[in-house]
Each structure stands twice: as structure tokens, then as C-alpha cells.
Amino acid sequence: MATGRTHRPATRSRGIPEATVARLPLYLRALTALSERSVPTVSSEELAAAAGVNSAKLRKDFSYLGSYGTRGVGYDVEYLVYQISRELGLTQDWPVVIVGIGNLGAALANYGGFASRGFRVAALIDADPAMAGKPVAGIPVQHTDELEKIIKDNGVSIGVIATPAGAAQPVCDRLVAAGVTSILNFAPTVLSVPDGVDVRKVDLSIELQILAFHEQRKAGEEAAGTESAAAAAVARNDSAEQGPDGDVPAVMPA
């Protein structure tokens, strides 16, 4: 995915490729697991296996951050955790609001991975007055009327939209007007936002459709008898590359 800052005119050396940024969270998760097991150092080979990528890619990714490894040894786990966290901006606290507290919104509110990594659910917002005051994941749901006030009072810059498709754009507009500049959209719609606002999209049915495409292809191959090369290809497979999101939802500058 091209994505993001395509339009940026040769910014300073600080330019970390988007594809690399998308993998940093994966590395971070693997490193955190190692850290919890008190593993002091790790080689690119080992860490790559844990993260589901190949080691050359991992080393190149890290090379954009700086030279944090030791030749002949590997990487210091704790140090790398810190460096990646800092690069991702996780050493600071990001208040987040979730709009739309249905099953999905509730799942997000309960999701532990949030709090553990710099994110704090500042508020839950829903349009249904019957929800108001009800606690979800220990946080009382507030009515949409309060949206602007909540954003401003908490200095929220990241919003999560988990509403039905129809409500997404209006909610998005209000979030942006109130000062939100990054949006994670779970509603199956294309949002339009002004320049300077990032949107990332997570779409369940799209993922399934992509799987169906590959599934269909597999079936076709079988039927087509032994198309020699194809069959062999499926058999031989070395580095079990687990696409994290290599091409996951793209960020878009505007």
C-alpha cells in the first residue's frame, strides 16, 4: 500500500517507510513477550520468527531507527522495547474516545491491548439515550450530545468509530470539528476528512472476501489437476511469513 505521506516532498532523513511503521507494533509485541520472560537479548533471526517476518526485513526495518544491535550478539530486548515505543509515540499517553457502543464498541472498550500500550479510553459515546450512564468495561457511556465537550476537556486526538455505516460520516465530521486528527474506522464506509487528518480502516467483510478469493483459487487449482509448478509451490515454503498487515489498512494523509 502506497499510503500516507506519498505527497510529502522529501522530508528530512527521519523518513521511516510506512511498511516499516506497520511492522513496528508486531516487533514490539514479540519483544514485550520476551521481556516478560526476562530474555535479555535476541537475534534478528529469533525475533523475526516470533514476529512472523523474515530476518532480513527485520534488520532493515531496525536500520531505519538506528543501530541498536550488537554484532555477533543481537539486540538488547529492554532497550529495543524502549526505542520502538518511543518511535511509535507510545511513551506518551493517548486519550481515545470510542463512538458507537454496540457489540463491537464494547469489545473494543474491553480490549486489554489498549491500556497496556499508551492508550487510555477517555470516554465511550453512544447515540442511544438508553445507554447513557450504563457502565461498559467500567466506564459509563455518555450521550453523543456531549461529544464536543468530551473531546475538548480530555484533549483527545484519536477517535474510534464503531457505529453503523450510516452514522459514521456525521460522527466523523463532529470528531474532526472538535479537534480529532486521527480516526480508526470500523464502519464499512469511506470517510471523507479534511487534509491533515489520518484515517485507518478496519473492515471485517473485506478481510473475509480476500480470504474467499484465495480459497476459491485453491479449489480451482485442485480441480485443474496437477498443474505441476503450482502444486510444488504450495509444498515448498520456507520462511513462514505471516503478513501482519504488510498491506493492512492504509493511512491516508487526508
Partner DNA sequence: CCCTGTGAATACCTTCACAGCG
Partner DNA sequence: CGCTGTGAAGGTATTCACAGGG
- Put residue 252 in one of left, alpha, beta given phi > 0 → left and psi -120 to 50 → alpha: beta
* 202 binds, options DNA, a copy of itself, none, Cβ within 5 to 8 A by partner type: a copy of itself
In this complex, which beta carbon is closest to DNA, that of residue 76 or of residue 173? 76
Binds a copy of itself by CB under 8 A, chosen from 55, 65, 104, 174: 104
Confirm if 124 and 97 have CB atoms less than 8 A apart. yes
In this complex, which beta carbon is closest to DNA, that of residue 141 or of residue 252? 252
In this complex, which beta carbon is closest to DNA, that of residue 17 or of residue 164? 17
In angstroms, the Cα distances linking 53 to 83, 129, 168 are 20, 46, 35
Whether residue 246 is annotated as binding a ligand: the answer is no
Whether residue 100 is annotated as binding a ligand: the answer is yes
* 63 binds, options DNA, a copy of itself, none, Cβ within 5 to 8 A by partner type: DNA
Please report how close the Cβ of residue 42 comes to a copy of itself at its closest, in angstroms: 15
Q: Which three cell numbers stand for residue 185?
A: 474506522
In this complex, which beta carbon is closest to a copy of itself, that of residue 58 or of residue 201? 201
Please report how close the Cβ of residue 1 comes to DNA at its closest, in angstroms: 5
d(CA 144, CA 156): 15
Q: Which parts of this chain interact with DNA (CB under 7 A)?
A: 1-3, 6, 17-20, 43-45, 53-57, 59-60, 62-63, 67-75, 241, 246
In angstroms, the Cα distances linking 84 to 12, 62, 90, 156, 157 are 19, 9, 8, 23, 21
d(CA 47, CA 34): 9
How many alpha carbons lie under 13 Å from residue 122 in its C-beta half-sphere?
A: 21
Asked if residue 74 binds a copy of itself (CB under 8 A), the reply is no
d(CA 129, CA 141): 10
- Put residue 52 in one of left, alpha, beta given phi > 0 → left and psi -120 to 50 → alpha: left
Please report how close the Cβ of residue 70 comes to a copy of itself at its closest, in angstroms: 25
In this complex, which beta carbon is closest to DNA, that of residue 75 or of residue 186? 75
| Span 26-55, contacts to a copy of itself by CB under 8 A | 26, 28-30, 50-52
Q: Could you tell me how many residues of this chain bind a copy of itself (CB under 8 A)?
A: 106
Query: What distance lies between CA 171 and its chain's CA centroid?
Result: 21
Whether residue 101 is annotated as binding a ligand: the answer is yes
| Span 162-221, contacts to a copy of itself by CB under 8 A | 181-184, 188, 190-193, 195-196, 198-218
158 DSSP β-pair partners? 96, 182
Please report how close the Cβ of residue 72 comes to a copy of itself at its closest, in angstroms: 27
CA angle 60, 64, 68 (to 5 degrees): 85
- Binding residues, as ranges, are 100-105
Annotated binding site for NAD(+): 100-105
